[in-house]
């Protein structure tokens, strides 16, 4: 246990401490030049900057959208697999394949599928008669739509994860409960809402938290598709911090933004862990 | 049988729904594969075709002979292998100690390891640039593998702990009664029992490094650059070569997809572990 702890201390904790420490300095981007202690100035600058607040809102919207879509789609597919029983095993395996694909590849792939003039998605929608012209929907260049479009590859990549977890959870629901409800005359939607979802609650919570944290950290998928554009409409916190650090050359300010982001993520995760680690789940 | 399983004619409807869902879900990657076999010009044709009019390997040849691509593929393999080895070397003893001795510090540690998963990558990646510079590991595969291990190690500890948990204590106790040392009991008796779990953990560690992007972007430039960064730079570097990009993406993704489909039973166990038991 000690070597692993030392490793994590050296390569996670120590860098993190440096990161937080940097947030109190004004640092010139050129290596070796002077740094000035500025107290909480970077934090003031972060909170008063429009870029930071709107990136926070975008991160939140992006995360909620990804998690909500994945939950609805993932649960639907998990229920479908359960309804089909054992003969769906092969398809369950096939359904899993995007999990192995690099986010960079997924981002580029979807950019290729959604690109305005020769994207296949618009072309197929056009051929199916759903669109009046193949460039009607500007998936990635309409600032009002882009934040949702860049989320598509993320949803495509990891809905399988939610499905797998929920499917495993569904197998553990005692059959008698559902039989009993059925004998009492309950129909499927009612069984779903009053029995299945409440019984799956802990599993759903874990799945959504794991995915929510990953979605809130999404970086490569967005960078690859829009690089934060158009008009900054897909600049989430990860991208903003990355840019503030590398392109705008303000590591101090970037560290302050990152620290706020880090604290928010930790607070959410700790609350989430405490909620899941309720009494009775403590044997692990 | 699960009572949620549906019988009767409704099944046909469900199978149709499943076929539709799979088609929608499979189409993006299928389109990528099909595009990779088109000519470079047809790959960006307006309007796009679904099937290639001429099947050709042109894109593969051009993508793989681009400068730096072969080196990047080798770097990806080397980095992922080093990182997998590091993860296992650190995770196996840690997970074993946590599950065997069940001390409070062990529980705190495994929770702390879980929390590191929630840290934004950039908050670790940016300061790691300087750490690597101080260690003289900038732009080396080993340095990058160390960084990747920060991602895979917590996951590996978590997974290995769940696998060790399933092995009864009596097994190692019996081995010790028979004269094994504690270390021998672990390496000779317990580890072979969890070899399946070891394989799953190794695959997850490998994939974590194989698919990682931000650390590679920050910590490498020329010598140690891995393929995801090259794929990302493909357009700015080589112009609008969508055909070549799809070919390289296919080369990079298909082997891991095939590998994991073969090992799917174990992988499903790994993916759902913890989430369901937790």
CA distance B167 to B164: 5
Residues B23-76: tens digit of each pLDDT = 888 889 998 999 889 888 888 777 787 888 888 888 898 888 888 888 999 999
Show me where the domains of chain A are located. Answer: 63-111+137-250
Assign a CATH topology to domain A63-111+137-250. MetI-like fold (1.10.3720)
CA distance B19 to B11: 12
CA distance A280 to A170: 20
C-alpha A155 chain-centroid distance = 8
CA distance A10 to A31: 22
Whole-structure pTM over 0.90, yes or no?
A: no
ipTM exceeds 0.85, yes or no = no
Residues near B131 by Cβ (< 8 Å), separated by ≥ 6?
Answer: A11, A14, A15, A18
Q: Is the pLDDT of residue A267 over 80?
A: yes
Residues A139-162: tens digit of each pLDDT = 888 888 899 999 999 999 989 889
pLDDT band per the 50, 70, 90 thresholds, residue A282: very low
Q: What is the pLDDT of residue B268?
A: 67
Tokens encoding B169: 């204590």
Residues of chain B with CATH 1.10.3720.10: 67-239
| SS3 assignment, position A35 | strand
Residue of B nearest to A266 (CA): B118
> Which of these ranges, A187-196, A256-265, B264-273, has the smallest mean pLDDT?
B264-273
CA distance A271 to A263: 12
Nearest CB among A105, A171, A196 relative to B231 is that of: A105
Find chain B residues with C-beta within 8 A of A251's C-beta: 126
Nearest CB among A105, A172, A245 relative to B252 is that of: A105
Distances (CA, A) of A200 to A120, A143, A205, B22, B151: 38, 37, 8, 25, 29
Residue of A nearest to B215 (CA): A220
C-alpha B213 chain-centroid distance = 12
| SS3 assignment, position A89 | helix
CA distance B35 to A73: 27
Quick check: B153 and A93 CB within 8 A? no
Tokens encoding A265: 């993520």
CA distance B233 to B213: 12
| SS3 assignment, position A239 | helix
Residues B226-272: tens digit of each pLDDT = 999 988 887 666 666 788 888 999 999 988 888 877 776 666 666 66
Q: Is the pLDDT of residue A14 over 50?
A: yes
Residues A204-222: tens digit of each pLDDT = 887 888 888 889 988 989 9
Half-sphere exposure of A122 (CA within 13 A, CB side): 21
Quick check: B278 and A84 CB within 8 A? no
More confident residue, A65 or A271: A65
Nearest CB among A95, A96, A118 relative to B48 is that of: A118
Q: Does A89 reach chain B within 8 Å, measured CB to CB?
A: no
Q: Does A162 reach chain B within 8 Å, measured CB to CB?
A: no
For CA atoms A159, B203, B73, A11, give the dihedral sign.
positive
CA distance A233 to A61: 12
Q: Is the pLDDT of residue A33 over 70?
A: no
The mean pLDDT value for A109-129 works out to: 84
Q: What DSSP designation does A195 have?
A: I
Tokens encoding A214: 């990953």
Residues B141-187: tens digit of each pLDDT = 999 999 999 989 988 888 888 888 877 777 778 888 888 887 787 77
The mean pLDDT value for A111-132 works out to: 83
CA distance B50 to B71: 32
Q: Which of B111, B261, B276 to mutate to test the interface with A (most CBs of A within 10 A)?
A: B276
More confident residue, A177 or B276: A177
Neighbours of B53 (CB within 10 A): 9
Give the N- to C-terminal CA distance of chain A in Å, as an integer: 17
As a CATH number, domain B67-239 is: 1.10.3720.10
The mean pLDDT value for B183-210 works out to: 84
Q: What is the pLDDT of residue A74?
A: 93
The mean pLDDT value for A44-55 works out to: 86
For CA atoms B128, B129, B133, B139, give the dihedral sign.
positive
Quick check: B106 and A1 CB within 8 A? yes
Find chain A residues with C-beta within 8 A of B211's C-beta: 101-104
Residue of B nearest to A126 (CA): B47
Q: What is the pLDDT of residue B64?
A: 86
Nearest to B243 by CA among B16, B100, B34: B34
Nearest to A262 by CA among B125, B110, B91, B204: B125
Nearest to B65 by CA among B209, B219, B244, B192: B244
pLDDT band per the 50, 70, 90 thresholds, residue A279: very low
More confident residue, A80 or A2: A80
Q: Chain B neighbours among A 205-264 (CB < 8 Å)? A: 206-207, 210, 213, 217, 219-220, 223-224, 237-238, 241-242, 245, 251, 254-255, 258-259, 261-262
CA distance A139 to B232: 20
Neighbours of A23 (CB within 10 A): 25
Give the N- to C-terminal CA distance of chain B in Å, as an integer: 25
Q: Is the pLDDT of residue A23 over 50?
A: yes
Residues near A214 by Cβ (< 8 Å), separated by ≥ 6?
Answer: A158
Alpha helical stretches, state H, chain B: 10-36, 40-43, 58-65, 69-101, 104-116, 121-135, 141-165, 169-177, 182-184, 191-193, 195-210, 214-219, 227-238, 242-262, 264-272
CA distance B246 to B244: 5
CA distance B186 to A16: 34
Find chain B residues with C-beta within 8 A of A1's C-beta: 93-94, 97-98, 105-106, 109
């Amino acid at each position: 246990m000690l070597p692993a702890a030392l490793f994590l201390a050296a390569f996670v904790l120590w860098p993190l401490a440096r990161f937080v420490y940097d947030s109190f300095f004004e640092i010139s981007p050129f290596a070796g030049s002077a740094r000035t202690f500025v107290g909480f100035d970077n934090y003031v600058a972060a909170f008063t900057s429009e870029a930071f607040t709107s990136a926070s809102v975008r991160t939140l919207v992006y995360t909620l959208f990804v998690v909500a879509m994945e939950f609805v789609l993932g649960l639907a597919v998990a229920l479908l697999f359960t309804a089909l029983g054992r003969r769906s095993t092969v398809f369950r395996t096939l359904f899993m394949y995007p999990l192995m694909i690099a986010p960079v590849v997924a981002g580029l792939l979807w950019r290729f599928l959604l690109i305005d003039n020769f994207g296949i998605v618009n072309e197929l929608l056009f051929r199916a008669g759903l669109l009046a012209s193949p460039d009607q929907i500007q998936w990635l260049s309409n600032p009002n739509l882009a934040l949702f479009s860049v989320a598509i590859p993320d949803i495509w990549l990891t809905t399988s994860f939610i499905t797998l977890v929920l499917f495993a959870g569904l197998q553990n629901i005692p059959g008698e409960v559902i039989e009993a409800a059925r004998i009492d005359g309950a129909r499927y939607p009612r069984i779903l809402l009053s029995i299945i979802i409440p019984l799956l609650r802990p599993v759903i919570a874990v799945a959504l938290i794991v995915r929510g944290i990953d979605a809130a950290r999404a970086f490569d998928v967005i960078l690859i598709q829009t690089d934060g554009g158009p008009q900054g409409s897909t600049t989430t916190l990860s991208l903003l911090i990355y840019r503030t650090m590398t392109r705008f050359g303000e590591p101090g300010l970037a560290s302050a933004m990152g620290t706020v982001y880090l604290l928010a993520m930790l607070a959410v995760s700790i609350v989430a862990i405490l909620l899941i680690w309720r009494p009775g789940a403590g044997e692990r | 049988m699960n009572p949620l399983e549906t019988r009767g004619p409704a099944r046909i409807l469900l199978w149709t729904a499943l076929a539709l869902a799979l088609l929608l879900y499979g189409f993006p990657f299928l389109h990528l594969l099909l595009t990779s076999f088109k000519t470079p010009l047809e790959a960006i044709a307006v309007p796009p075709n679904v099937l290639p009019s001429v099947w050709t390997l042109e894109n593969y040849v051009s993508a793989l002979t681009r400068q730096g691509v072969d080196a990047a593929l080798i770097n990806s393999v080397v980095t992922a292998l080093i990182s997998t080895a590091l993860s296992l070397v650190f995770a196996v003893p840690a997970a074993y100690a946590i599950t065997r001795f069940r001390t409070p510090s062990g529980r705190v540690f495994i929770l702390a390891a879980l929390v590191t998963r929630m840290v934004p990558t950039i908050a670790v990646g940016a300061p790691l640039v300087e750490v690597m510079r101080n260690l003289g590991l900038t732009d080396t595969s080993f340095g990058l593998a160390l960084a990747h291990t920060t991602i895979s190690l917590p996951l590996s500890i978590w997974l290995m702990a769940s696998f060790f948990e399933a092995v009864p204590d009596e097994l190692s106790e019996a081995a010790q009664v028979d004269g094994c040392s504690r270390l021998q009991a672990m390496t000779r008796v317990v580890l072979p029992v969890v070899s399946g779990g070891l394989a799953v953990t190794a695959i997850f560690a490998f994939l974590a490094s194989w698919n990682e992007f931000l650390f590679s972007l920050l910590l490498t430039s020329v010598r140690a650059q891995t393929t995801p960064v090259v794929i990302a730079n493909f357009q700015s570097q080589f112009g609008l070569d969508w055909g070549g990009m799809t070919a390289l993406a296919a080369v990079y993704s298909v082997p891991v997809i095939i590998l994991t489909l073969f090992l799917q039973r174990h992988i499903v166990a790994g993916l759902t572990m913890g989430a369901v038991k937790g």
